[in-house]
Amino acid sequence: MTFIARFAGAALYAALALLAIAAPAAAQPADPDGQPVTILISIDGFRTDYLNRGITPNLSALAARGASAPMKPSFPTKTFPNHYTLVTGLRPDHHGIVSNNMIDPRRPALRFSLGDARQARDPFWWDEAEPLWVTAERAGIRTATMFWPGSEAAIRTIRPSDWNRFDQNIDERQRVETVLDWMRRPAEIRPRFVAMYFDRIDTDGHHFGPHSAKLNAAVAEVDSQIGYLIDGLAALGQQADIIVVSDHGMRAVDAARTIDLDALLAPESYLLVDSGPFAAIEPAAATDRTVYDALLMPHDHMQCWQKDDIPARLAYGSNPRVAEILCLAEAGWTIRRGAPPEEMSGGTHGWDNEDPQMQALFIAAGPRISATTPVRNLENVDVYALLAALVGVAPQPNDGDGDALVLFAAPEPEAETLLE
């Protein structure tokens, strides 16, 4: 049985090689029909070159047995937009989660914020698109999410059959144990699609930077827990197609490379909706062209556009939630309001999605996945079609290249052929 990924033009052919993430030969699949579960794992902030540091034996083994490639994220290279892209196949401009912080003109008094749990649970922000778990649940396929962004909201009135409110105090091992507990259930109430999320690498990347010992320790720990998951599935005899992704990379920052908007504009003349590697700016009500004139002129280390003029390659600007002015900093520079603190270090993300250090992780391995040639030119909008095929649902309209990822599934092999 083979899944073939066909990419047109410069094209990407990925045939994903038969891999069993399985129990010893004497074990039997937990599911009577032997059908694998699909497990999507996001490692927030995992820059693709972290795989080259020699501290990820489990991820490296998974990549060696399946398919792997650097993956181009969508712009902006932020957490919530890219997580929703992965499960909808839509660019942020089309699914509506245009940043970690945003304002909708229909609710101008409210600001969506990464740290505001009330907004994260409000379907208003998420209903512009249908994530995979909603499509699957409509089709009678049970799903479960462990902290995946968006899954706390009843999107189009539907939540996963099992879901959890995000709690950073629940560590990686506890998250894996929850997934394994789901796999111990009888087949009729066991999820067939699971999406789980690890945030520690992103957190430590922000605090300590992408080249720090703390970051490397976080990478090693998350890799260890993914190994624990794989071993746990094998002990249960549960077949699994595992897709490991990240949402973006990470780049070091410092106080010497900052742009102070208050040095260019009167503070009362603008609303800063989001800031960092890019700034989302709304001119204050009743202001003249002063804000536009000050920002749209040439600047060192930063370029600004009105939303209608944002370069087409960023696929950004048509959604009403995109601010009136977008300023994008040169890689390594950040935009803020006010002077930076004397000591500023660590890392962040949000730059141009073509920045090499913003590139994301993609690994796929499992009994229905085979790879005979390297995957190239992969963008995160294309992952959704693979997930939909594995879960067994027709994909919703999406921004993936229609000729880029075409999947053909042959009949399931006999259960005993899945075990090694």
Rounded CA-CA distance 209/216 in Å is: 10
* 3-state secondary structure at position 158: strand
Given 77, 79, 143, 145, which residue is catalytic?
79
Q: Which of 86, 136, 381 has its CA nearest to residue 244?
A: 86
Estimate to the nearest angstrom the gap between the alpha carbon of 186 and the chain centroid: 30
Rg of the chain in Å (alpha carbons): 22
Residue 119: its H or E element: helix 117-120
Rounded CA-CA distance 322/372 in Å is: 41
Buried/exposed code over 240-254 (b: 16+ C-beta within 10 A; e: otherwise): bbbbbbbbbbbbbbe
The dihedrals phi and psi of 210, each to the nearest 5 degrees, come to -75, -10
Q: Which of 349, 353, 44, 403 has its CA nearest to residue 197?
A: 44
Rounded CA-CA distance 144/39 in Å is: 10
Which one-letter amino acid corresponds to residue 359?
Q
Catalytic-residue membership of 79: yes
Residues in CB range of 403: below 8 A, 6 or more apart = 6, 7, 8, 9
Catalytic residue ranges? 79
